[in-house]
Chain A
């Protein structure tokens, strides 16, 4: 299982994301945003950070990086594609996920653990969780409020495309308390919390490891290596 983790100028979570991927038993490769190819990766992850300094809008410029042609082709062909935080913003700007992320309702940058509920286990990144499981993951964002127009939001809800919801407290005012969504095809997932920051007992929690372990259970991939 080969996972490409894209590095944009300003990304800062790619190394940690690659480490979480490898801890789950897959092979991670950090791919530069100017590369034309994903190198035959099975899975693509857009990591957290501040690609292009969030200039204009978070993810607005990164979505036009050269590597994104390959990312879009991979996603449209059904390839598992994950966007974490800034990566989620890039996927929305690229039109690979519905809706958009806006400034947090309280206007503050929030950096703390939050509880989220796994709403759907029917994605390559959540199949290893139990539906309805409450997990704790850290958020670290100033623009994490999920919005969409009424028709889009209704379609997301009706289509079962909500993957994670904030549980108990909605920290940023996201509509429907959405912390993560998928596309209709369910192969593209974006979430604002950082699973890679809670994938090892060394960093305060392991609830996020499931996102990466779920990948290893995809049909067609030999599940090898120690868990």
Chain B
């Protein structure tokens, strides 16, 4: 997601569009990315560590983006 404090014009455009569609109570919209990585690992912790490292190295730009890792275990 774009870091708080940075202008997100895409989010603003979406907010305006939602208001134009007459949705009520919309206060703020920020638009980010969802990246799905299927990774094989020893366990959930190792998988989370691997993907976190991927975010730090490539998937997110620390100057402009925050990231969050969520995990779904599949056998």
Mark A residues whose CB is within 8 Å of B: 56-57, 60-61, 64, 92-93, 99-100, 102-107, 145, 147-149, 152, 173
Contacts and interface: CB of A to CB of B under 8 A. Distances in A.
B9 A60 contact: no
Contacts of A57: 61
A56 B34 CA distance: 11
A147 B58 contact: no
A203 to B, nearest CB: 31
Given A56-B58, A64-B58, A100 B64 contact: yes
Interface in B1-53: 2, 6-7, 9-10, 13
Contact of A147 (B10, B59, B64): B64
Interface of B: 2, 6-7, 9-10, 13, 58-59, 61, 63-64
Given A100-B64, A147-B6, A60 B13 contact: no
B63 to A, nearest CB: 4
A104 B9 contact: yes
Contact of A105 (B7, B59, B63): B7
A102 B9 CA distance: 10
A82 to B, nearest CB: 21
A107 B10 contact: yes
Contacts of A147: 6, 63-64
Contact of A103 (B9, B59, B61): B9
B7 A173 contact: yes
Contacts of B2: 102
A149 B9 contact: no
Contacts of B6: 102, 147
Given A105-B7, A147-B6, A100 B13 contact: no
A105 B9 contact: yes
B5 to A, nearest CB: 8
A104 B13 CA distance: 12
Contacts of B63: 92, 99-100, 147-149, 152
B58 to A, nearest CB: 7
8 contacts: A60-B61, A100-B63, A102-B2, A102-B7, A107-B9, A147-B63, A173-B7, A173-B9
A56 B9 contact: no
B10 A100 contact: no
A61 B57 CA distance: 11
A61 B58 CA distance: 8
B56 to A, nearest CB: 13
A100 B61 contact: yes
